Amino acid sequence: MNQLTSSDVHSHIVIGGGISGLGAAFFASRAGTPSLVLEQDDRVGGCMNTRSFAGLEDFWVEAGSHSCFNSYGHLLTIMEEIGTLGQIQAKAKASYRLWRSSKRVSILSALHPLELIASLPRLRKLDKEALSVREYYGQGLGRKNYNDLFGPAFRSVICQTADDYPAAALFRKKPRRKDVLRSFTLPSGLAEIPQALAQSKGIEVRLGAVVDALSPDAGGYRIELTSGETLRAERVTLAVPPDVATRLLQQVAPAAARATGRIGVAEIDSLLLAFDRKDLNLPRMAGLISVDGPFLSAVSRDFLDHPRYRGFAFHFPGGRLEAEGQIAAACQALDVAPAKVAAVRHERNRLPSLRKGHWDLVVELDQALASASGSSMAVTGNWFLGVSIEDCLTRSHSEMTRLFGRF
């Protein structure tokens, strides 16, 4: 076992360099504690993943998170401090279309107005915190509306079946800042935010740092990397998917590991396509909501004009279609021949698969953490309040407040 000296001890190590982990490091630095962030990938950002295409004039498409809003209070605070808020750009307005029976059709074509009018009064009487998405919206919007329109729309938002998802985790009302654009992006995509955050004061990031094991150590924790290096920290924050958290918690908080072990993960295959504008005879659109197609959703890059190219991100259930099948399905939905694709990228995303009763698991996890580690370990991610960027940062903020006190 490696011998450690006092110089090897870090005040705070964050495992995971997505927006949750970087946000935790940011909030810790505001509390006066510098943080070392260990990220196994070759980039930071996690699901904030902007991908460009070589040879296409720096043209880019979002592979993961697609939108930021003026209701994202913690994110806006961070952006102000790291100097990116002044660079935001408005997203051009465009409408979504449905992909149903191999055709692009309007959203309203799937709406059942009379059922909606009859069902809406029930919505106020339902306990959103206790119900699944299907239970809550199926009763409050009507079964036909849910099956034909809202169910597929919610599935598109979270890139997985939404029926058993906790209704309260799907949309959370947040106060808006009227001095900020309602919906925005950045000139080079949303990945500019985690990239700038990783370079901010009090944060050190190591890329390609894969953690093998986490174990208790005198006065803190021992972290073993696949490289053979050993690190030690007084406090540790896990900002990783629930299955990874389960593995790392086994030795330090087994009861917490039992809770996270009951949270699923959905694998998503994301296909990014770029086209020369002249090759697409397609009106501007925000994207496609798939009702019965092989993909879950498609999001367009049309919100930010490029003089020559247009781009799309198609999200498929993981492992269902080979690359050629994905491209064929996407091109069919866009009415374009696969030969017209100017560039293509394939990305794999992993998202939490939350289910009804999730809040009980979070309570169980938090109680187990408090019992096992007191105020020396935190767990954050996109699997607590919901999958939005602000949901991630809200959890990170509350966990860093618990670890370091008010700041």
Identity at 44, one-letter amino acid code: V
Per-residue pLDDT of 227-272, as tens digits, reads 999 999 999 999 999 999 999 999 999 999 999 999 999 999 999 9
Pair 258, 362 in one domain: yes
Whole-number Å distance between alpha carbons of 110 and 149: 6
DSSP conformation class of 150: I
HSE-CB at 319 with a 13 A cutoff on CA atoms is 3
Pair 130, 194 in one domain: no
pTM of the model as a whole: 0.94
Mean pLDDT of the chain: 94
Pair 211, 150 in one domain: no
Radius of gyration, CA atoms only, the chain:
22
341: tokens are: 């694709």
pLDDT band per the 50, 70, 90 thresholds, residue 57: confident
Question: Could you tell me if residue 52 is inside a domain?
Answer: no
Q: Are 237 and 21 in contact (CB under 8 A)?
A: yes
Pair 231, 361 in one domain: yes
pLDDT band per the 50, 70, 90 thresholds, residue 1: very low
Pair 237, 364 in one domain: yes
Span 292-297, average pLDDT: 95
Question: Could you tell me if residue 210 is inside a domain?
Answer: yes
What's 397's domain CATH number?
A: 3.50.50.60
Question: Could you tell me if residue 112 is inside a domain?
Answer: yes
Instruction: Decide if pLDDT at 2 tops 60.
Output: no
Question: Could you tell me if residue 27 is inside a domain?
Answer: yes
Which candidate, 16, 19, 11, places its Cα nearest to that of 397? Answer: 19
Question: Could you tell me if residue 136 is inside a domain?
Answer: yes
Pair 256, 208 in one domain: yes
Instruction: Centre a 10 Å sphere on the Cβ of residue 68 and count the other Cβ atoms it contains.
Output: 25
Q: What percent of the chain has pLDDT over 70?
A: 98
Which candidate, 240, 260, 248, places its Cα nearest to that of 38? Answer: 240
Q: Are 236 and 59 in contact (CB under 8 A)?
A: no
Pair 195, 258 in one domain: yes
pLDDT band per the 50, 70, 90 thresholds, residue 5: very low
Which candidate, 346, 262, 285, 351, places its Cα nearest to that of 91? Answer: 285
Question: Could you tell me if residue 162 is inside a domain?
Answer: yes
Number of domains in the chain: 2
Instruction: Decide if pLDDT at 290 tops 60.
Output: yes
Which candidate, 343, 359, 3, 34, places its Cα nearest to that of 201? Answer: 34
Pair 251, 142 in one domain: no
Per-residue pLDDT of 113-158, as tens digits, reads 999 999 999 999 999 999 999 999 999 999 999 999 999 999 999 9
Per-residue pLDDT of 369-383, as tens digits, reads 998 877 799 999 999
Pair 207, 149 in one domain: no
Instruction: Decide if pLDDT at 320 tops 50.
Output: yes
133: tokens are: 């998405």
Pair 207, 238 in one domain: yes
Whole-number Å distance between alpha carbons of 193 and 178: 21
Question: Could you tell me if residue 92 is inside a domain?
Answer: no
Domain carrying residue 133: 108-170
Question: Could you tell me if residue 16 is inside a domain?
Answer: yes
Whole-number Å distance between alpha carbons of 131 and 167: 6
Neighbour order of strands in the sheet with 103-105: 103-105, 96-100, 287-290, 297-300, 309-317, 264-276, 341-353
Pair 194, 257 in one domain: yes
32 φ/ψ angles, rounded to the nearest 5 degrees: 95, 10
Residues present in the chain in total: 407
Residue with tokens 């091109």: 331
Pair 195, 251 in one domain: yes
